């Protein structure tokens, strides 16, 4: 019997987001005969931009943009009792934002139900249903009960404190699912304590990155180079890095390279122009492909990776930098503490003092201690966040649960 897995994504392979799923897809496509990808949206209105392995079947996005979504979501026969219970038991009606969130989720659920009813007819009963995000409302319905239901949780799709205290029908999704794949121990513990989920159906599945580059560059000058990599908007607080760099005296040669773009880029550029330091070079690279980022890491000796975000899941950007032996300075938020520690970098308070970070950056001049951090950064990636190992373990767990379900 052929092995089949259906992966529900937000928009992949459309657009440019969910880049981390690409790493995972390589292993899934190698382990299963057929991989179906069902994206929820195509908000970009573009054709498929990213290539996929030959045994991957990409379906049309489930939800139309515009008025078509409302029409399809309201006028179909899918049940919605679970949503009504959630609306009243969680008192969703008391918040306009939460009510809007609930309604949008309801539309996606009802459209997904109608869509999956058609897809299900051509699927083997042992096909695995795998949602790459915790937003998997179709799993609460009996239409999915014949299949192994697997849900991954990241950060923004899970933590209530990042979502005005409410995410639609999450209790029902977690209870109905057969296997939960939190990306961190932190999320696992919340599943157990706040949702009363048995640890027997939780498998911590760290994300991972590949690195086919043999080595990074050796130091060749006295410039301290730092790198950051993220979208540029409020919660990422990239502007705080500029605040730190303002403190340095002009006798210290510095370079700051930022990879990523976003709505806050204009303000960031304005802030950078106010820094009066002839020995500071700032390069805003914008969005780049992972290969381009890795090529930069391999050709330049980077001293520090910096993350000043207010919220995080478990940053893949730090996994990427660690794979080149670049230590990290990162705020102690979300599950960042599961990758960054005093041996491979510095965990800093979310409300840090920029003066303290200036001192940390200069500590790269302590050659012996700093080199140990570089070695430990690489070893952390190699032992805990290497995609070959992590996604191999994921495939084993999926197949084991699928086999046990058929017994």
Question: 123-134 pLDDT, tens per residue?
Answer: 998 999 999 999
Domains 4-208+387-406 and 224-384 share a fold: yes
The CATH code that applies to domain 224-384 is 3.40.50.2000
Tokens of 259: 């990879």
Closest alpha carbon to 302 in 289, 286, 283, 316: 283
Q: CB of 244 within 8 A of CB of 326?
A: no
Strand (E) or helix (H) holding 304: strand 304-307
pLDDT of residue 70: 60
Question: 194-210 pLDDT, tens per residue?
Answer: 999 999 999 999 999 99
Runs of H (alpha helix) within 5-139: 19-31, 67-74, 81-89, 96-120
Q: How many CA atoms lie within 13 A of 339 on its CB side?
A: 36
Closest alpha carbon to 63 in 11, 22, 20, 12: 11
Question: 183-197 pLDDT, tens per residue?
Answer: 999 999 999 999 999
Q: Where do the domains of the chain lie?
A: 4-208+387-406, 224-384
Closest alpha carbon to 113 in 77, 84, 75: 77
Mean pLDDT for all residues in the chain: 93
What percentage of residues in the chain have a pLDDT greater than 90? 79
Q: 120-142: b or e for each residue (b if 16 or more CB lie within 10 Å)?
A: beebeebbbbbbbbbbbbbbbbe
Q: CB of 313 within 8 A of CB of 184?
A: yes
φ/ψ of residue 66, rounded to 5: 85, -155
Question: 228-252 pLDDT, tens per residue?
Answer: 999 999 999 999 999 999 999 989 9
Q: CB of 362 within 8 A of CB of 355?
A: no
pLDDT of residue 156: 94
Q: 274-287: b or e for each residue (b if 16 or more CB lie within 10 Å)?
A: eeebeebebebeee
User: Which DSSP category does 49 fall into?
Assistant: -
Q: CB of 335 within 8 A of CB of 312?
A: yes
* Residue 216: band (very low, low, confident or very high) from pLDDT cuts 50, 70, 90: confident
Strand (E) or helix (H) holding 284: strand 280-286
pLDDT of residue 78: 76
Superfamily, domain 4-208+387-406: Glycogen Phosphorylase B; (3.40.50.2000)
Strand (E) or helix (H) holding 296: helix 290-299
Complete DSSP assignment for 238-278 = THHHHHHHTTS-TTS-EEEEEEB--TTHHHHHHHHHT---T
Q: Report the 10 Å Cβ neighbour count for 46.
A: 11
Would the pLDDT of 47 be above 80?
A: no
* Residue 77: band (very low, low, confident or very high) from pLDDT cuts 50, 70, 90: low
Would the pLDDT of 335 be above 60?
A: yes
Would the pLDDT of 71 be above 70?
A: no
Would the pLDDT of 157 be above 50?
A: yes
Bridging pattern class, strands 179-182 and 148-153: parallel
Would the pLDDT of 1 be above 50?
A: no
pLDDT of residue 149: 97
Residues 117-125, mean pLDDT to the nearest whole number: 88
- C-alpha–C-alpha distance, residues 342 and 280, integer Å: 27
Rounded alpha-carbon distances, angstroms, from residue 118 to 2, 61, 114, 121, 158: 20, 14, 7, 6, 29
Question: 363-380 pLDDT, tens per residue?
Answer: 998 989 999 999 999 999
Tokens of 107: 């539309």
pLDDT of residue 64: 73
């Amino acid at each position: 019997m052929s092995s089949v897995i259906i992966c529900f994504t937000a928009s992949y392979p459309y657009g440019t987001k969910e880049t981390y799923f690409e790493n995972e897809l390589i292993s899934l496509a190698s382990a299963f005969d057929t991989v179906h990808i069902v994206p929820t949206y195509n908000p970009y209105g573009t054709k498929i931009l990213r290539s996929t392995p030959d045994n991957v079947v990409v379906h049309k996005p489930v939800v139309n943009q515009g008025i078509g979504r409302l029409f399809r979501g309201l006028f179909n026969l899918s049940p919605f009792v679970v949503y009504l219970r959630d609306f009243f038991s969680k008192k969703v009606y008391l918040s306009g934002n939460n009510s809007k969130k609930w309604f949008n989720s309801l539309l996606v659920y009802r459209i997904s139900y109608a869509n999956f009813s058609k897809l299900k007819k051509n699927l083997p009963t042992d096909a695995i249903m795998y949602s790459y995000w915790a937003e998997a409302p179709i799993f609460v319905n009996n239409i999915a009960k014949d299949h192994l239901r697997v849900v991954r949780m990241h950060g923004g799709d899970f933590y209530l404190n990042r979502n005005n205290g409410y995410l639609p029908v999450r209790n029902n999704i977690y209870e109905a699912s057969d296997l939960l794949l939190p990306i961190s121990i932190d999320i696992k513990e919340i599943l157990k304590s706040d949702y009363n989920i048995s640890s027997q159906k939780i498998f911590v599945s760290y994300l991972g990155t590949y690195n086919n580059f043999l080595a990074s560059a050796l130091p060749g000058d006295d410039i301290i180079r730092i790198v950051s990599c993220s979208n540029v908007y409020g919660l990422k607080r990239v502007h705080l890095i500029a605040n730190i760099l303002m403190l340095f005296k002009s006798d210290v040669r510095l370079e700051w390279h930022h990879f990523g773009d976003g709505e806050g880029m204009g303000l960031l550029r304005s802030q950078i122009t106010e820094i009066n330091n002839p020995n500071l070079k700032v390069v805003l690279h914008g969005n780049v492909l992972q290969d381009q980022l890795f090529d930069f890491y391999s050709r330049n000796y980077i001293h520090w990776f910096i993350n000043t975000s207010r919220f995080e899941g478990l940053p893949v950007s730090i996994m990427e930098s660690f794979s080149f032996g670049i230590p990290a300075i990162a705020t102690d938020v979300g599950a960042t503490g599961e990758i960054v520690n005093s041996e491979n970098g510095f965990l800093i308070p979310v409300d840090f003092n920029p003066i303290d970070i200036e001192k940390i950056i200069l500590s790269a001049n302590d050659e012996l201690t700093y080199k140990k951090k570089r070695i430990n950064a690489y070893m952390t990636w190699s032992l805990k966040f290497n995609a070959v190992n992590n996604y191999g373990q994921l495939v084993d767990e999926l197949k084991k649960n699928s086999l046990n379900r058929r017994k």
